[in-house]
Structure formats: C-alpha cells, structure tokens
Structure 1
Amino acid sequence: MARIPTTELGRYLLLGQINRQGCLRRRPFQLATATSIGQLRRVSSSVGAPTSSVPTSPTTAPLRKQLKDQAKLLKASGHKKKKNVDNQTVPGWELTVGIEIHAQLNTSRKLFSAAATSFNDSPNSHVAPFDLAIPGSQPIFQPETLIPAVRAALALNCEIQHTSRFDRKHYFHWDQPAGYQITQFYEPFARNGYIELMSRDGIAAQDGQGIRVGIQQVQLEQDTAKTTAQPDGVQWLDFNRVGVPLIEIITRPEIHHPATAAALVRKVQVLLNSVDACVSGMETGGLRADVNVSVRRTDDATAGLGTRTEIKNLSSFKAVEDAIIAERDRQIAVLEAGGVIAGETRGWSLGSTETRRLRGKEGEVDYRYMPDPDLGPVVIDPKLVEYLASSSGVRPDDETDELIHKHGLTAKDAISLLMLDNGARVQYFYNVLDALDARLGNASCETIVGQPASTLAANWCLHELGKLTEVSSDLDMTPDGECRIRSADLAAILYHLMRKEITAKVARELLWSVYREDISRGGVTDAIAAGDLWFHELSEAEYTALADTVLRGEEKIVAEFTRHAEGKSKQYPQGKLMFLVGKVMRAGPEQRMDPASVERTLKARIDQVCVPGVQTQG
C-alpha cells in the first residue's frame, strides 16, 4: 500500500476529506461534537491552506473599550461596585488563594516536534504530524526548550531537579487532538522556589512592607490549539499553538488578599521577561493564570482550609483581583446561608460581578495521570544550571532600585518601564537618556530649565509614547530598545525642550512628525529651524501686563487669595490659580508663552495685590 502524504492525512482528520482516487467515494463532512455548555455546530480548520480561503474573525474591541463599556452598563443598572482597595478583607473570614500560571516559553521550536512556534503566520501553517496526533507519530523532546525553562525557574528561586519525567494528563477536548496533554505532574524539573513581593509591587496594605510566597513546583508541558469563537456557535481551530512549550508555575496557598494575588502575577511576568524566558505577557495571551480560592471563618483556629474552587484562564491582572473578590464573596454568602461549597471549576468574564460554574472539579483520578511511555527522563547537567544562573543579568528588583534611587523615578513609573514591551521599553529609556546626556555634556543646571533629564525622559517614554499607541499602530519596539521613533530623535526633542528652546506643544508635534516619518532620521533640529519653531519667550514686562489685564476682570477670585493671605481660609486656591494661568495663556500669543512663567508671574502679582511682601503657598 502506498504511503499517504501527511497533508492528505491532515485533510482527512481535520476536515473529513477523502481522496477521490481509490475504492471509496469522496464524502466531505465537518467535525462536530457536543459539549457540556452547548452543541458545537462546526469545527473548521485547514492544514497549510492559503489565508484567502479562511474567513477572517470579526474585529474585537480593544481591552480599554471593553472595560469602559462594562463600566457604563454597571452604572446604568444602578449597581455601585466597591473599590478594590477597600475590599481586600471581609470581617470574620479568611481568604486563601493559590495560583497556577501558564507561560509560553521563548523558543523557536515546539516541545515535542521541530515545527516552528510562530504566532503571526497563517493558521495551521506550522503543524507537525505529532501535533495532530496522527497515528504512528512519536514525540521527540527538543532540548533547546529547556534553556528558557531553567532560566525562568532560577528567576523564581527554585531548586533545579537533576532528573525529571513527563506524564500524560488525559482529557478530551477539541483543542487537544491526542486526548491527553504531556506535562510533568509527578517529577517536575524545578521545585521549592519563592517570590518576594514588596509594597511597591502593589500588594494589599494588610500585607505590610512585604511578603514571601512559596513556589511549589515549575513543570514543563505542551500548549493546546487556539480556539476562536465565531457567530452561530462556530469554533475555529488553529493548531499552530498545539505543542508550544509552556511552563506551569504552581504557588503554595499562601496569599490572603486579592491585590497581592494580582501583584504576584504581575511580578512573575516581570521576572520571566527579565531572563528572556517568556514570549509575551498577559496582554497578548502569552501568560494565563488560574486561581484557586477558598474561605474559612477566623473564629475557629483548628479549622482547615475551606473547599476550594478554581477560576480558569484569567487574562489580565485586573481580572485576577476582580475574580478573586467575586468568588470570595460568593462563597461567604453560600456558607452564611447554611450551604456547602462544591469543588468545581468556574469561569470569569471581563467586567463581570460574579463567577459562573463551568464544570465539576476534576481530580487526579479523572485525569488518569500516567508516565508517558514514549519519552525518557530529562537529565539536566548541574554545569548548565550554574552557567545559566551566572549569566541571568540584573534582577528586576535591583533594576527598580536603580531607577528609583539613581534616576529619581517613582516606583510606579519604574515598574511600568520594566513591564512594557517585554522589557524593551526600559532599554529604550536608557538609550534616550544616554543620547540626551551626550547632548547636554557638562551643561550646568542653571542653563537647563525644567525636570531632571531622567524624569523627563521617563515621562515621555511612558506617557507621550503611550498616547501614540492609543490612536495608531504599534511602536515596533525591538529588544535592543529602538522603535519607529529612534531614541536619538526623541533625545533631540527633549534636549531643545529642556533648554526652553521649544515649547511642550511643539515638542509633541515634532514627536508625531517623527512617528509619521515626516522628519528624516536625525533631522529634528533642522525641522525646527526650517519651520521657525524656536521659542521666543515674552519678556517679564509683557508677562506682567497680561497678568494685570486678566486680574482686573477677576476680582472675586483675587478676593479668595486675599482671604487665604489673611488667614481666613486654610486651603490655598490652587485650582483658581490654574484657571487664571489658562486665561492668561489664551489672552496672549501661546507660541511665545511658558505656563510655568505665567504661573510665577501671576503668583508675584497676586502677592502684591493681597499682602505686599508676603509669599503665598503652592
């Protein structure tokens, strides 16, 4: 009998298409199966098919818009949601949370086949016979997948096991062709780690200045196919993701506040990015979290942990915190009503206020774990572990300390820089800062106006670049810290802004021009000169004349400053001052005015009007 080509087998297994040549008549059909939550009408897929033959999925709204829409619906319904910061504890009850985090490893090949792990190519274009569980195909462990896995485990302070083994976890679902998943349940490659969380990481205030959460184990396993829901109950399957190497990080049940759980997931993402172990973060689907939640009364010290429920596939840090709060409150309500918590798997939808039941909880017996007979043990040389540990680079906590103490950034901005673009944004910041320092040279502080170079650069790298991505495509940030706006060009804009040679408005317009490539590389200064965009600031006398004109029409506001100066009002009317600043800016030539100079002139004139010679606050 002639050998059947792999592509023909794929068409038969996935689409039910049989070659018309031979004794059987061709009868195409579509795969169908029933699920516990409804009938799956059609599962369609193709192996190596051109993209033009596959319909495109409907455009999904951005995450930010989805959150806004959900908030509007909650507001319209009259339901007021309690702020999470005030909802970390419930009197008389203790919450316990354990987390399982799945992260896609940064490798070029799949875990048990040589197929590529590309996430941007056509659906079902990187599929090997073993990925589809074609009869006769065998798993072949790809040793290169072990490198990022060990790096990740070391970043989590784990003990690397000299020998580990693979197991089969049996379950049937359309996204798992073999009917089982290969994982490391009994003998994982890493155990007994921990994560240090500090207050700046966003933990709950009840956890004080810091907390240590134990890592039970880290195990290698294969990912499943990607399912995309379509209208009318149709599900599309992309088998490119089948077999992509994952690590599953299992924490100990040592978390007692929802905010701390979210902070841990966020910290894990930063740690994995810092050692180049993870493909992408939660925002792009490269990292997913399952949380196990249980509650018990605090008045019984001898009581064990309550029955836990698992919430699957949480895809954002906010979802982790919100889902835990909702499930905690549900369990407490059930117990206070005399009910019993069932061990089950539950789901969570973006913007929801409660979890929903998916299925009864499956345990070890249901999964029928067994050693994989087709795979031998994985033996890790201690020399490899030693080399990877010595070459891991700077830890995120150490880099955060440097950004805060050396460069003057806030903890929030420092952590944001480390998290964005898989760590490439902080490298971009360093590149901008180096280019800016080279331009400033030995310039004294007296010749430079405004913020220190480091805080100004951080502000633009975070917020001004962030505004570009809100209304346009991605920045195309590279791992070495470059993007569509070259670091040297942003440094040139900030250099002229710091020296008060251009206004902030002109600086933002230049940023957009560089982004749109209206300005050639290295041509920022030439563009300023060509457009006569230099800042020709008003004189002190001109500022004073404009301030006096505005104050003459605002006697009621000036009276409030007088009452404060006389001690009759405790609060300084800073908001009123900013109103006057805006009015002066509109009254004069904005392109020649600096808001800081306007504010300084107004303060001086108000001091003279209210109490001559007395300095105001603000």
Structure 2
Amino acid sequence: MSRISTAQLAKYLLTGSITHRGCLHARFRMAATNRGFANDARVQRTTPTIPAVPFRKQLKDQNKADKASGNKRKKNVDNQTVPGWELTVGIEIHAQLNTNHKFFSPAATSFQDSPNRHVALFDLAVPGSQPLFQSETLIPAVRAAIALGCDIQTVSRFDRKHYFHWDQPSGYQITQYYHPFARDGRVSLYPRDGIAPADGDRVDIEIERVQLEQDTAKTTAIAGNVHWLDFNRVGVPLIEIITKPQIHHPATAAALVRKVQMLLAAVDACIFGMEAGGLRADVNVSVRRAGGAASPRTPLGTRTEIKNLSSFKAVEDAIIAERDRQIAILEAGGIVEGETRGWSLGSTETRRLRGKEGEVDYRYMPDPDLGPLVIADDLVARLADSMGILPDQEIDDLVGSYGLSTKDAMSLLTLDDGARVQYFYNVLDALEERLGLSHDASPASDQRHAQLAANWCLHELGKLTELSSDLAMTPDGECRVPSIDLAAILAHLHGRDITAKVAKELLWGVFRGEIPSGGVTQAIESNGLWFHELSEGEYADLADRVIQGEDKVLSEFLRFKQGKAKAYPQGKLMFLVGKMMRAGVEQRMDPSSAEKVMRARLESVYLPALEAS
C-alpha cells in the first residue's frame, strides 16, 4: 500500500512530481485505518460525545407532546404537493472535512477537548499573523468532489467574505466565491433513497459548485444574556456544496441531503453526520403558480433561506412549513420578502432572522494573503482510483450478492455515519471464516449466513440500545459487541448448536461485559447452553399429545383440504405448535422443526383419519 506524506503532497501541489506507485485498495469500503496517506497526515477520527438526551428521543418526545396537544402534523407523504402551486428548492450543505489540522493554521481540529485549547494566532486574528494553507486538508475535499461527480478545477482561489460577528475574530471568512475548486457535479436519487413518489424512478440533482471555506467559533448561550465562545472551531475546514434549484418536493430535498452524507462518509471526507453536528444544510425555498396545459408557468418566486438545519427531518419539515407560509401570503394578495429564516426542532412555522444579505453586504474580494490553489490532474486521478465503492454500487452489491433487502442495505449504509456497514463486513468475514465459507465461491442464492448477519447487525443490535446505553460504534466498524463475538454467536446459531433465545442472551452478556471478548463458546459450555434437539419421534409424540381434544381445530384443516375454506388455517397450525413448545422442554426444541412435524402429522395421520370417518 503506497501513501503520500504531507511534505510530498505540498511538493506535489507545486510541481506535480510524485511518482505514481499504484492505488489504495479496499474490499468494500476504505476502512478508517487505511484511508489516509501517511502516518503523519493520517486522519484520526473519534466518536462524537453522545448528548445527554439522544436526538431520536427528542423527536419521540416532541411527537408525543404534539399528539397530546392536538397539533400532531400529518405525515409528510401527504404534504409533498399543494394543488395549483409548484415548489422550488436549492440546497447549500456545509460539511466538516476529516482532517487533523485547520485550513490556515497548524492547530488541531479537535471537538472533544476543553474549549480554546487548539487555537493558533491566526485563528484569533492576532495582528501580524498570516494564513498558512495546510495542504493535507485538500485530500478529503477532492475526494468529496469526485464522489459528487464534479469537475476539479486545476486552479482555484480564495476570497474574503466580510461580516462582523463575535464568532469570526478577523471580521471576514475565507471562502471561494469567485473561483471554487470544483464545479458541475451531479447526484442521482432513486426511490430507495426516499424521494417523493412524484419524482418517479430517478431524479438527477446538479451540483453547481463545491467550495472550500473555514468554520466559525462555537457560541454557547448561558443565563444572563451571556455567550461563551470556543475558538477551537475557528478555521476548521469545511466544504460548501451548492445545488441548482431543481428540487420540487420536500421529501426529495431530505433524500438529497441524506445521499450526500452517505457519499461523504463512503469516501471518508466528512467527520460526522448531521446528528453529530458534522453536516448542516441551508435551504432556499420559493413557490410559484403551476401553469396549466395551455399557459406557461410564472417565473420563480422570491426565495427565502432557512439556515442551519441539523437533521433530515428538519430539512423536510422546514421546507413544508415555509412553502405553506409563502403560499398563504401570496393567496392573500401579499408579497414574499427575501429574507433569512430559522427553524427549531418540533416547530410548525419558520421564523424571521434577518433580511437577506447580498453581495454588497459581504464585500467579497480576493484574499491578498493567499495565492492560487493548484490541483494537478494526476493527483485527482490517484484519489479517484483509491476511493473504493460508492453507495449506489455498494447497495446493489449488498442486495444482489448477499441477498439483503434494499431497506436493510440502506440502513446498514446510513446508520452510525456509515460505520454499521463496516461492522457488518467485519462480522461477515469472521463468520465465513468460522463456517469455512468463501463469499466469492458462494452462489448468490445461498447467502443465508449473510442475511443472518445483516439481521443481527441491524435489528438485534438495535434492540440493545432501546433500554440501555450507546453501542459506541467506531468508524472502523467495531463497538461494545466485538465483531468476532457476534460472529461466534451467529456461527453456533447457524449450525443449530444453540437456540435463538440463547443467542440473544449471549448477545446481551457480551454487550454488558459479562462475557469477555473471545469467550462466547466457553460461556455456552460452562452454562450448559448447547442445543440437544429432540428427535423426530419425540416431536411426533408431542404433536400427538397436544392434538388430542382439538377436534374443532382439526375440522378447520379438513374444510381447507376439501376446498370449503379459502385460506390455509396457518393461525390454527401455529396454535398447535405453541402448545407443543409449552408441553416440551424449551431448551431442546426448535419452533421451525416443531411446525414441520406438526404439519406432517396433520397431513399424513389425522386428516386422512377424519376423512375416512
């Protein structure tokens, strides 16, 4: 595996002199441990601090409050269109880049340390300090632009965007207004991405530009109209992704932001997703009357911007609320004003923040302290070759080669900022090793072990956090349940060495730390949890015992066999199987085996006897 050091990259940007030695390789995705270039420039990713109240719990609590107050909103699927009106949305997405250093100072990008610990002189705009572009920050930015299908510009330049606020010590933000480093990208969205049904089987959203810019300080409001500033965030590298105004449904807007987050995570460009604060979206919303068959549509209406949306749900809900507000104004004969508006979690209306700024307000100008940024074509080619599989191809592979459902494949890619799918691959590798299987040699039709692994990585693992703490999933796909331990549990379950109930108990034991890593098999042995299944004859004896006295149930099966009932009485069958499970020794019984034997006894013994009588 070849790597490019920071010093080499800096030299490369100036001379293009790095020798091509081959590309990085990844089986499915580039794991966090082998995605960087040199040890001195390797990106160190950390798991974000879990908030005191998890975001999803905030949403649940808000929904309960809305329902109790009678203000429960209709599902968004009912709010995608308004008859006679057309919605138009453009989106600006700000994403924190996965780097060790800030854009223009050597200070570290750390979000876990105490406030104001990682601050250089330039970050505070100390007189005489100068910006020094950190070349390694360019790597994840170029990866992101490639994933978005953009044309990388050989030469781009930095500009100053002037505004005065306490979170920006210099009085301006360094950005790329006139000459961004990437242009003309495209993101394709499909029904599996969650687009509105009206958008059909596919919608392509054009990316107008992707630009580099620095972040501002973090402001924390406390009682007494006091604000605390953390300058650790000043100068943190961002990219701003700006789409063309081509979105016409709120659900599709949310789907685009979700898809962009998946793409950035897949190429290791973005540190955290929306819920962890690593990605924010601003949406520009306008409405106009829809033209009929004989009349053209009116020009686009006045747009308003909704700032700093921090969840996919917020993107959809805020657009719906702002669309409805603008339509109500226009239908009442009013005029929509161009302005910047805000949105709060659980709101039903956007709120005015300020009038809309323009170019004159920001006084954009080329930054005199920074020269042009030169990106050579062979560097772009090298990064493109090393990125691995992008989400759409990976989903197709999970569905086609592993037999997963589209829903499960999407969930694996989106959970834990993309780390859950890496966990799945880790579990699957360990499971196949235990079972003596090779995925490359296994036919796509025989992937029951992969489907079993996906089910447990999603659903059973998810149950662990419903009443307990976080999984603590890391970017390289490990968590409080080590992948080798889950693979051990699933190998025994797949081989019918243990029951599903025992497997779940073992999972809880590993999660709680009661079973040490690597000790699953020993825990089964020491606690006598091996599954010694009943013989077929013992199952048959149980079936005969529980059928006695169930003449009414048997008559239902006979009616179906004689064509007098439209549907097979599956519920009655499972009633009998339940009686079998209760009558026997649970630790020695498998529900599917019990069902198979009960069905056979009914069809070969009891129904023929009823017909003969």
TM-score tier after normalising by the smaller chain length: 0.7 to 0.9
Amino acid at match of 2:506: L
Deviations 1:224-259 (A, max 9, x none): 112233345443322111110000000011111111
Tell me which moved more, 349-358 or 418-427.
Answer: 418-427
CA distance in 1, matches of 2:323, 2:307: 15
Find 1:192's aligned residue among 176, 184, 187: 184
Q: Which aligned pairs between 1:201-600 and structure 2 lie closer than 5 A?
A: 201-299=193-291, 300-441=295-436, 452-544=448-540, 546=542, 570=566, 581-582=577-578, 584-600=580-596
Amino acid at match of 1:217: R
Unaligned runs of 5+ in 2: 1-48, 439-445
Shift of the 584–420 alpha-carbon distance from structure 1 to 2, 3 Å rule, reads same
Deviations 1:42-73 (A, max 9, x none): xxxxxxxxxxxxxxx99742112211111111
Is 2:289–2:297's contact at 8 Å kept on the other side of the alignment?
no
Shift of the 379–557 alpha-carbon distance from structure 1 to 2, 3 Å rule, reads same
Amino acid at match of 2:153: Q
Identity %: 72
1:608, distance to aligned residue in structure 2 (A): 7.5
Shift of the 167–591 alpha-carbon distance from structure 1 to 2, 3 Å rule, reads same
Is 2:187–2:205's contact at 8 Å kept on the other side of the alignment?
yes
Is 1:497–1:507's contact at 8 Å kept on the other side of the alignment?
yes
Tell me which moved more, 490-499 or 348-357.
Answer: 348-357
Amino acid at match of 2:200: G
TM-score, length basis structure 2: 0.83
CA distance in 2, matches of 1:599, 1:71: 41
Give the corresponding residue for 1:154. 146
Amino acid at match of 1:376: G
Tell me which moved more, 475-484 or 400-409.
Answer: 475-484
Is 1:562–1:610's contact at 8 Å kept on the other side of the alignment?
no
Shift of the 253–611 alpha-carbon distance from structure 1 to 2, 3 Å rule, reads farther
Answering whether residue 65 of structure 2 is matched by residue 73 of structure 1, we say: yes
Is 1:429–1:457's contact at 8 Å kept on the other side of the alignment?
yes
CA distance in 1, matches of 2:524, 2:510: 12
Find 1:112's aligned residue among 96, 100, 104: 104
CA distance in 2, matches of 1:538, 1:394: 47
Is 2:403–2:447's contact at 8 Å kept on the other side of the alignment?
no
1:481, distance to aligned residue in structure 2 (A): 3.1
Shift of the 611–261 alpha-carbon distance from structure 1 to 2, 3 Å rule, reads farther
Q: Which aligned pairs between 1:5-84 and structure 2 lie closer than 5 A?
A: 60-84=52-76
1:568, distance to aligned residue in structure 2 (A): 6.3
Tell me which moved more, 256-265 or 561-570.
Answer: 561-570
Give the corresponding residue for 2:5. none
Amino acid at match of 1:483: C
SS in 1 for 2:227: strand
Shift of the 442–80 alpha-carbon distance from structure 1 to 2, 3 Å rule, reads closer
SS in 2 for 1:350: coil
Deviations 1:94-113 (A, max 9, x none): 11111100000011000111
Tell me which moved more, 183-192 or 391-400.
Answer: 391-400
1:82, distance to aligned residue in structure 2 (A): 1.9
Shift of the 270–552 alpha-carbon distance from structure 1 to 2, 3 Å rule, reads same
TM-score, length basis structure 1: 0.82
Coordinate RMSD, CA, aligned: 2.9
Across the two proteins, how many residue pairs are aligned to each other?
553
Shift of the 112–471 alpha-carbon distance from structure 1 to 2, 3 Å rule, reads farther
Structure scoring higher RCO (CA < 8 A, sep ≥ 6) equals: 2
Amino acid at match of 1:509: E
Amino acid at match of 1:213: I
Shift of the 172–603 alpha-carbon distance from structure 1 to 2, 3 Å rule, reads farther
Shift of the 441–306 alpha-carbon distance from structure 1 to 2, 3 Å rule, reads same
CA distance in 2, matches of 1:355, 1:610: 68
Is 1:561–1:610's contact at 8 Å kept on the other side of the alignment?
no
SS in 1 for 2:275: helix
